Amino acid sequence: MSAEARPHHPLARMIAARLGIGVFTLFVISVLIFLAVSLLPGDIAQQVLGQSATPETVAAFRRELGLDQPLAWRYLTWIGGVLRGDFGTSLANGRPVAALLAARLGNTMFLAAYAALIAVPLAVTLGLLSALWRGRIFDRVSNVLTLSAISLPEFFIAYLLMFWLSIRMGWLPSIADPGPDPGLGDRLSHAFLPAITLVLVVTAHMMRMTRAAVVNVMGSPYVTMARLKGVSRWRVVTRHALPNAVAPIVNVVALNIAWLITGVVIVEVVFVYPGLGQLMVDSVTNRDIPVVQACAMIFAAVYILLNLLADVVAIATNPRLLHPR
């Protein structure tokens, strides 16, 4: 074994361990999702067909859905299809669930990316400025504003923005659905209100964590030595403090991006945005169980994957985590 390959082994082992934990967590979540859906009150077949359906029709539909099979067998059948990329067929319109998810997932990813491209640079910049001017008026005002933003639920922020920017000012559409085959400009304008709602929710948290990470590093001996040598405060922050605060900042950014993707359900419903969250809510209303299960699995998988990415980046940028004593 070469000496060059040896240092990579701790990171590879750590990534493999995190992957194993992620796969196991996703398996446990899949069981919980299936059990939660199976324990919903009422007969799904009866509710889908309506009260006017005959007992024979309900029984035949139950057999078609596999509801007459044992619970364990139904789970194995479902999870086996998921592993093959087959999420089943929608009970509402008979279309493959994968086809329904494809378009909606793209819309949700577009909205999350739109919000992230605004929120991440804004949060990191504001966090750096707050750390640079700690205790001054900018820091105090930003702390008050971020605490206010964190305290308000996203649906309240969404309705405030809709009222002022759409209803009162008429600047932006209140409905975020741009229609079929929109251009990039239409998509950006229609998704602006939900994107800004998400930005206001996540920027506050990322900014406070960035400020805390940089302030913590600013108390290190090498930063104090740099200040004693006459290095400017801005240079100390950008050249010495920020590179050593990357791990916690990247971690919180990855976690908030995961929230942007998995936590958009309320925002999508408020603005009628045609994303995965809206599809999941509509499917719950229609008792479209295969779609509900598929949406929940996708949200769980994305959240676990981004958490795994955050862990790997934090470990890779901090050698002390690779070689704990």
pLDDT digits over 206-246, tens only? Answer: 888 888 888 887 777 777 777 777 777 777 777 777 777 77
Determine the average pLDDT of the residues in 45-72. Answer: 75
Contacts of 262-267 spanning 24+ positions with Cβ under 8 A: 262/299, 262/300, 262/302, 262/303, 263/154, 264/108, 264/111, 264/112, 264/194, 264/198, 266/153, 266/154, 266/155, 266/158, 267/154, 267/155, 267/158, 267/194, 267/197, 267/198
Closest by CA position to 187, among listed 128, 109, 126: 109
pLDDT score of 2: 47
Question: Which of 75-79, 259-263, 311-315 bottoms out in mean pLDDT, i.e. has the lowest?
Answer: 311-315
When pLDDT is cut at 50, 70 and 90, the band that residue 5 belongs to is very low
100 contacts 278 by C-beta, under 8 angstroms: no
- Residue 177's pLDDT band (cuts 50, 70, 90): confident
Which residue has better confidence, 13 or 179?
A: 13
- Structure confidence by residue, pLDDT tens digits, 100-136: 898 788 889 899 899 999 999 998 888 888 888 888 8
Task: Tell whether domain 106-287 is in CATH 3.30.450.20.
Answer: no
Q: Which residue did the predictor score with more confidence, 273 or 46?
A: 273
- Model pTM score: 0.81
pLDDT at 318: 63
Q: What is the mean pLDDT of residues 41-63?
A: 72
Residue 245: predicted pLDDT: 75
Q: What is the pLDDT of residues 68-96, one digit of tens each?
A: 788 888 899 889 988 888 888 888 777 88
CA dist 289 and 294 (Å) reads 9
pLDDT at 317: 67
